[in-house]
Amino acid sequence: MTRVLKTAAAVCFVLATAMPQLVMAQETMLKLVNTLTGEETALSEADVLALPQAAINTENEFVDAMTSFEGPLGREVLALLGEGGSTVVLTAVNDYAVEVPVADFANYDVVFALSADGERFSRRDKGPIWVVYPMSDHQELQDPVYNSRLIWQLVKVELK
């Protein structure tokens, strides 16, 4: 009897400690909406990490030096929304939103960065996702138009 109680207590302890991680892992990190079809997809952190990961080295106006940004390419994420549409509306956690042409993701290796130089973004910095353009590789991207598209704390992607 004592053994049964001990085993039950151990199981409860394991569940209690593991639950928050399980919940966190399944919590929605990025919401995808295709306004053309009305389809919606919720990606957890695990889903985002399961996508093919890429890394770009670049500078921009918000970092001090050349930085490596790691995460899935924007076009890999958009592929989950299906084909069609010409514009994507990217929305941050504070409801700030920018419109970005779909062509940007085809023309450039735009990364939905989860980390910089190997360090994961926190919500108090640029997390969970910072949209980063390879500005150092393309001079035409070094322009205020593209600076405004470097949206961080990204939580929602809508295809129009």
End-to-end CA distance of the chain: give it in Å, rounded. Answer: 62
Cβ(78)–Cβ(102) under 8 Å?
A: yes
As a whole number of angstroms, the distance between CA 38 and CA 34 comes to 5
Q: How far is the CB of 113 from other proteins (least distance, A)?
A: 14
Determine if 23 is a binding residue for other proteins (CB under 8 A).
Answer: no
Q: How far is the CB of 103 from other proteins (least distance, A)?
A: 22
**Footprint on residues 130-159 left by other proteins (CB under 8 A):** 142-144, 147-148, 152-153
Strand partners, 154: 92
**Footprint on residues 77-106 left by other proteins (CB under 8 A):** 93-94, 96
**Footprint on residues 55-74 left by other proteins (CB under 8 A):** 60-64
Q: Which of 5, 17, 118, 124 lies at the binding interface for other proteins (CB under 8 A)?
A: 124
Cβ(59)–Cβ(67) under 8 Å?
A: yes
DSSP track, 109-129: --EEESEETTEEPPTTTT-S-
Nearer to other proteins, 89 or 93 (CB): 93
> Rounded to the nearest 5°, which phi and psi values hold at 27?
-65, 145
């929605």: which residue's tokens?
Answer: 28
Q: How far is the CB of 30 from other proteins (least distance, A)?
A: 16
Q: How far is the CB of 126 from other proteins (least distance, A)?
A: 7
Query: What is the DSSP-derived secondary structure letter of residue 153?
Result: S
Q: How far is the CB of 125 from other proteins (least distance, A)?
A: 5
Binding site for other proteins (CB under 8 A): 60-64, 93-94, 96, 122-126, 142-144, 147-148, 152-153
